[in-house]
Every structure is written in structure tokens, then in C-alpha cells.
Amino acid sequence: MTATPHYTQFIDGSWVDTDRTFDIIDPANGELVATAARGSVENLDQAVAAAQAAHARGEWRSKTPDERADILSAMVADMSERMDELVALHVKENGVTIRQAMAFHVGYSISHLQYFADLARTYEFERSGPQLSYPTLASGIVRREPIGVVGGIVPWNFPLLLAVWKLGPALAAGNTIVLKPDEKTPLTLLELAKSAERAGLPKGVLNIVTGAGEEVGARLAAHPDVRKIAFTGSTAVGREISKLAAENIKKVTLELGGKGPNIVLADADIASAVDGALFACFLYAGQACESGTRLLLPESLHDEFVDRLVQRAATIKVGDPSEFDTDIGPVISAEQHARILDYIEIGQKEGATLAFGGEPPTGAQFEQGNWVRPTIFTDVTPDMRIAREEIFGPVLSVLKYRTVDDAVAIANDSEYGLSAGVWSEDLEAALDVAARIESGTVWINDWHMVNALYPFGGYKQSGNGRELGPHALDEYTEEKFVHVDLSRSLDRKVYDLVLPAAQAAVDR
């Protein structure tokens, strides 16, 4: 019998075990995939101390940007060689389909890390400012310097990718980092640490502590030696992170919840918009913060659109995520499964019409694991909980609107503002609607197209700051102004605002 793999923490360049463990469970069948060390607050403190010591030694931050980029690129090369291994592991630990893991979860992780390596080579760490003539002749230099120890807290849905979004810019800028993955999905992130080891990343620069969020995550957010915290997760936990970070005025980046409105205009190509709406909501069984979970349809298209929507939804194959023809796999856990089914019941009690799905699939292969069929509600009104609260599952709420102004008002009537979409054959009309939506990302005639070249983040209670894009390193640096006096003469200075003029003459 093959022994169950066991994963340990990565602290100060060493693999650190604990007496207690987490069980990593395959969401598709409930089987044990691996065990992982259950880190403690003491382990977290050790990791922060290691990161602080590494920053103080300066061996990472003193490297040139090109030298740092070379090591990040070496990590990319190692991960690329092991892509099949990482994909298989990712499918097992969080239930994503193999096609999606290859394209997004692992594929994007590798390409985005390379983006940050490339950004390190081109980022403007220092620039000259304008020459000053008043009150004295001077020039200025603006530098962007590493913050120090960065803390990153990573969720279970895209654990490797969202870790890269934090460690990539942090390391490219010359910081050290301590990462806390979700206890359900730490495996691929620990495999990334092996790539960092092989690439020659100095010890203490990257540390990974696999502890519980309410203990280790809270300590990381509050730790006085952590100067920046980057968190992806729910809005409720994000509020707590903000409170803890405020105690010592940390920099904070938060990417939180969403309730993405997907607006179909009356002139939209129906076939494209139908498939796009299903893709927007049901990718990774709806377990993405930027999913399009509110579909807004004009009255003129509603009935035809819903008919086609249901017909196409019926073609989606739910099944074993390791099989290439599977479209949707399980949801992450029994707790999440129960939460989604509760919301489906709530929707029906509130008066919404269950147009499709709403129950687990049937068959022997679904007797174990956490399964929910794609679910579509119609007759949803903006006040219903299924239209306002983040369900984080394969549940699509269809709302009807009369005018474009009504659609925009419904879209913006939310505490969230992470993602949105507009479908139209008239690009100018779509751009006009996009300009009126309160959201960090608006896709026109598409969805889920997150690109490293463009910033990602939310309005309102969907978060603070931005990840990705050409300014991603801004969030991981401090800006310093260095003033250089060019007057070279005491009588050209303004010291006489304090000192008597006679004193200046004596000194000359």
C-alpha cells in the first residue's frame, strides 16, 4: 500500500514539521489526498523572524532587479517542467477540472510569475524629478524601495495563482514574504516552494506556514514586524484583516467578494451571450469571486434567452474532474456544499423560479464527494438574498430589466464591485454602459479574461488596491523622495529664515 504523502511547512529555507496535521481531502470522492503540517502561531512568529532577518541581511533586496528576475524565471522554468504533476495535484486538492487547471489555475500561475519577473527588469525603481529653482536650486530623485516583510493570505479556490499574485510582485520588488495558504489547499503552494529552493532563492525570503486562518492568519495580519498584508477571501474576513492591520498601520491589499452583474443589451448576439453567461457563472462551479452570478436580461429578450440558457446548461457535463470531457467538478467541501443547497432553498422560499438544476446529480459516482448541478433561477428580484449575497457556487440568478438605466441601477445596487459584463453588438453602447458600472473590471462580450498586463481589484466592499498590471509593484514598495541641493553656496540658501544674516557672513 502506498503511503499517504505528507507535506511540511517551509520556514527559513528548511522544511518544518509539527505534531498536528491537516487532512487534505479530494472534493470529488472524500478520499485522503495527503496530510499537511498544522502550523502554529509560534511557527508563524518563526517565519516572520526569518523573513525580517533575511531582509535585514539584504542579500535579496540588494540584488539588482535583473538578478531577482533571473531567480524568478528559474522558478518558472522548474514549475513548467513539473506542470503535469502540479495540474494533477491541483485537481486532487480543490476539485478543479483538469482542463481548467491546465489553462488557469496552473497555467496562469506560471505565466503570471514570469510576468512579474519581466516586470522586475523594466519597473522604474528610480527616476529623476524636475529641477527646482525655488526657494533654492535643487534636483530630486524618486525611489521605490521594498517595504520589508510582506504577509500574504491565500484562499482555497485559486491557491497557487493567488499566491503568485502576492509573492511575484513582493519578491520582484525586493521584499521578503510569509504566506499562509488555506488549510484545505496548501499542496501546490508548497510545491512552488520546492521550485524556489531549486532556483536558489535565499533562505528566509519565502516562508510558508500551513496553519488555521483564525489563529495563524490573524497573527500574520496583526504581527508588528509585517509591514504589508495582501489578502484574498471573503469580505467578512477582509474586514477583520483590516482591523488587525490597522493596529500598526500596515499597507493592505484586499481582494474580496463579488456579485458580478452580467448585462445583456437588446442587440446582443444571443448565442454568444448565452454561452458567455454560462461560462461567467459556472467556471469552477461558480467558486470564483469575480463570477457573473447576476444575469440581467431586457424584457424583449428574456423568454427566448432563458429557453436557450436552459437548453445549453443541460449540455454541461458534471463529473470526475480528472477526465478531460468533464465541464464542472465538485465544490470544495461538505460545508460549502451545504451552504449552496441552503441558498437554493432560500431562493425558492423567496419566490424565485427554479428553471434548471437545484439538486445534486444522481448516479453511483456522485454518492461520495460534494456535488451540485448548475442551477438557474428566474423571476429573481434585486431584493432577494440570492441576488444580493455571495453564494460561491454554481447558482445563476436571472433578473429582468426594462431600460438600460434600470439595468445599470440594478447592477450598481450592491455592496460589491469586483466584476461586471456587458453584451452588445454596438461597442459604443457597451462602452457607455461599462463607464457607468461601479466595478473594478468590466468585460465586454466576454468574461473571466483576467490578464497580467491589466490591473485587477474591486470597488466598494470588494476590496482595496490592485493586483497585476504594470503598477503591481507599487503596492509592494515605499516611495522615497531624495532632495539634492545644487546651490552650493550658503548665501543662496534660505537659512536666514531661522539664522541671522550676520551669522552667515561670519561663517563665510
Sign of CA dihedral 360, 364, 367, 371: negative
Helices in 334-458 by DSSP H: which ranges? 334-349, 385-388, 404-412, 427-436
Give the whole-angstrom CA distance, residue 237 versus residue 257.
10
Reported as a single tens digit per residue, the pLDDT across 278-316 is 999 999 999 999 999 999 999 999 999 999 999 999 999
For 100-114, 401-415, 492-506, which range has the lowest pLDDT when averaged over its residues?
Answer: 492-506
Q: Is residue 129 part of a domain?
A: yes
Please list, in sequence order, all residues whose beta carbon lies within 8 angstroms of the beta carbon of residue 280, skipping any fewer than 6 positions away: 260, 262, 291, 292, 421, 447, 448
**Beta bridge partner(s), residue 138:** 132, 485
Q: Which three cell numbers stand for residue 496?
A: 536666514
Per-residue pLDDT, averaged over 317-322, amounts to: 97
Residues 473 and 427 in one domain: no
Q: What is the CATH number of the domain that holds 398?
A: 3.40.309.10
Reported as a single tens digit per residue, the pLDDT across 184-235 is 999 999 999 999 999 999 999 999 999 999 999 999 999 999 999 999 999 9
Q: Is it true that the peptide bond before 135 is cis, omega within 30 degrees of 0? A: yes
Q: What are the φ and ψ backbone dihedral angles of 506, each rounded to 5 degrees?
A: -60, -45
For 110-124, 358-372, 392-406, 410-424, which range has the lowest pLDDT when averaged over its residues?
Answer: 358-372
**504 pLDDT exceeds 90?**
no
Residues 415 and 472 in one domain: no
Q: Are 483 and 137 in contact (CB under 8 A)?
A: no
Give the 3-state secondary structure percentages of the chain, helix then strand then coil, rounded to 5. Answer: 40, 20, 35
**94 pLDDT exceeds 90?**
yes
Residues 238 and 283 in one domain: no
Give the count of domains, the chain. 2
Residues 151 and 212 in one domain: yes
- The pTM (predicted TM-score) of the whole model is 0.95
Q: What is the CATH number of the domain that holds 76?
A: 3.40.605.10
Residues 289 and 177 in one domain: no
Nearest of 233, 189, 231 to residue 90 by alpha carbon = 189
Residues 86 and 189 in one domain: yes
Note the pLDDT of residue 491: 82
Q: Is residue 492 part of a domain?
A: no
Note the pLDDT of residue 494: 87
By residue count, the chain amounts to 508
Four-CA torsion 307, 309, 311, 313, nearest 10 degrees = -150
Note the pLDDT of residue 253: 98
Q: Is residue 493 part of a domain?
A: no
Residues 218 and 245 in one domain: yes
Residues 223 and 314 in one domain: no
Q: Is residue 496 part of a domain?
A: no
Q: Is residue 503 part of a domain?
A: no
Question: Domain span at residue 336?
Answer: 261-450
C-alpha 197 chain-centroid distance: 24
Residues 282 and 232 in one domain: no
Give the whole-angstrom CA distance, residue 437 versus residue 406.
12
Residues 320 and 190 in one domain: no
Per-residue pLDDT, averaged over 142-168, amounts to: 98
| 3-state SS, one letter per residue, for 120-136 | HHHCCCEEECCCECCCC
Nearest of 111, 185, 164, 230 to residue 336 by alpha carbon = 185
pLDDT tier, 495 (very low <50, low <70, confident <90, very high otherwise): confident
Q: Which residues are catalytic?
A: 255, 289
Q: Please indicate whether residue 493 or residue 229 has the higher confidence score (pLDDT).
A: 229
Give the whole-angstrom CA distance, residue 201 versus residue 192.
12
Percent of the chain with pLDDT over 70: 98
CB count in 10 Å sphere of residue 18:
18
Q: Is residue 501 part of a domain?
A: no
pLDDT tier, 502 (very low <50, low <70, confident <90, very high otherwise): low
Residues 279 and 183 in one domain: no
Reported as a single tens digit per residue, the pLDDT across 392-402 is 999 999 999 99
Residues 334 and 278 in one domain: yes
Q: Are 24 and 93 in contact (CB under 8 A)?
A: yes
